[in-house]
Structure 1
């Protein structure tokens, strides 16, 4: 007798199937739980997914490739094991201080070296933000320091109810420089509490994270948040990739420009995008879906990859 497999079990089993069309990494694990959906897991669970140089380097390579990977239309980003990420690996920072800066005597040259290192890390996380495919963060356990920076670079953020957050940089004598202070202020809904969290580095829970607009939805378990994120990514992946990716490009442009600039950009963008065959498919499906028996017609359209 065949044993029934429940949704959570199906998702967890599908996670184990690696994508053959993508390279493998040491600090990341990739799989395809649904058609056109790529799951990217930070894979340093023994270190609570603390970020070292290799993870930063592989993250950049991974998301730059996913940006042009035809089999990928939506991405779920999560952490393996007990945490999303506890931030930058202290051992990595210590190595930079002792091994790299220790060999440089001149103060200005040390500053230039650090500047290049910071810009390299920024580029790694910005590769998530710049990826034209929507990225959904499924956060659980701990989301500390660089983990918050990484989540800031995602389009949509879900978390578990027991997730602990902290914008930790002030506690180690730094201003956050790889995402939190650069991207989140454009989307945070309560700047008073947000600044309190930045200046004090105190931990906060998922309810407070939702209150300030850091996360969108809260779930009880890691399995539930992952299931919801993958389900949402699957819905997005069934839409026109021309429309979805164009929407992300326009949203990111709008975040960083004036209203007048945004209208000019959108008019230039759609002057070519309006010629896509996806519009004809969508209009036809909308007409068909008015018949109750075909209410799912739009979601079943087969859009071509781009």
Structure 2
């Protein structure tokens, strides 16, 4: 005879769902309507404005991988707890993944190589959102800064509340926004708009984001955003319900070597950092 734990461990789908719903250090995963097949992945560090820590870069790809192979998952909503969506990469204190690359020695070549590896790992973490074969819908409210924009750019559908703002702040810190956003944004908003955002570091409103195509819908409030995105997710779940032709096309939606080009951008940042 086998116990309940053995039965659960023999069912990969049940094990994946159990791991998801147990939660993570930086994410909260919920299934608001089990019959709809929609899962919500929420950035869950509101006290830090959902800044992306090393733990977040480890947990985002894990959550997306589990959802990707979970049969009951038809669509994914990516949202955030607290008043803001994401403050970007965590730059203060020991949680800064970029300065951690320099902590083991002062050799500039070794430090640059360490930084390159860290950036490639962060790029890969956000690419996991893009690779998920289920539709991923971003629900943005409040401030979406730097790496937060990179997270949003990796999603399939992007919506926001009227109070949302978007900004690539990296230029003000003399670093490169190379977590994949520079590769994805030109395809989303066009080269000129992407260059404007990346080179000026200016903040844009929700309506400006809609005008340039960064988001497809703007809702008046957070409550309306949540309800609207839930409906979009429920409608888009048809893609994940066995429409093989659409699913095949959908899987190729970005269809280019983001990682390769982002890796070249990473080399540029390492050079700048060494200087």
TM-score, normalised relative to structure 2: 0.80
CA distance in 2, matches of 1:125, 1:84: 15
Post-superposition offset of 1:138 = 0.4
Quote the residue 1:129 is aligned against: 130
Quote the residue 2:118 is aligned against: 117
Distance 1:232 1:96, change over 3 A: closer
Aligned CA-pair RMSD: 2.1
CA distance in 2, matches of 1:213, 1:98: 34
Q: 2:250 aligns with which of 248, 251, 255?
A: 248
CA distance in 2, matches of 1:62, 1:26: 12
Quote the residue 2:266 is aligned against: none
Quote the residue 1:31 is aligned against: 30
Quote the residue 2:148 is aligned against: 147
**Kept in 2: contact 1:74–1:135 (CA 8 A):** yes
Post-superposition offset of 1:101 = 1.1
CA distance in 1, matches of 2:124, 2:43: 17
Post-superposition offset of 1:91 = 1.9
Distance 1:140 1:99, change over 3 A: closer
Say if 2:192 is the partner of 1:192. Answer: yes
Say if 2:184 is the partner of 1:222. Answer: no
Distance 1:98 1:123, change over 3 A: closer
Q: Count how many residue pairs are aligned between Structure 1 and Structure 2.
A: 237
CA distance in 2, matches of 1:239, 1:71: 13
Quote the residue 2:4 is aligned against: none
CA distance in 2, matches of 1:47, 1:240: 34
Mark the runs of 5 or more structure 1 residues left unpaired by the alignment.
1-18, 258-306
Quote the residue 1:180 is aligned against: 181
Give CA-to-partner distance per residue, 1:107-145, whole Å, 9 cap, x none.
111111001100110111110011111100000001010
Q: Which has the higher contact order (CA 8 A, sep 6+)?
A: 2
TM-score, normalised relative to structure 1: 0.72
Say if 2:167 is the partner of 1:166. Answer: yes
CA distance in 2, matches of 1:41, 1:102: 31
Secondary structure, in 3 states, of the residue corresponding to 1:159?
strand
CA distance in 2, matches of 1:206, 1:115: 33
Q: Which one has the largest radius of gyration?
A: 1
Quote the residue 2:12 is aligned against: none
Distance 1:167 1:95, change over 3 A: closer
| Correspondence 1:1-306 to 2 at 5 A | 20=18, 22=20, 23-34=22-33, 35-91=36-92, 95-96=96-97, 100-189=101-190, 191-238=191-238, 241-243=241-243, 244-253=246-255
Secondary structure, in 3 states, of the residue corresponding to 2:166?
strand
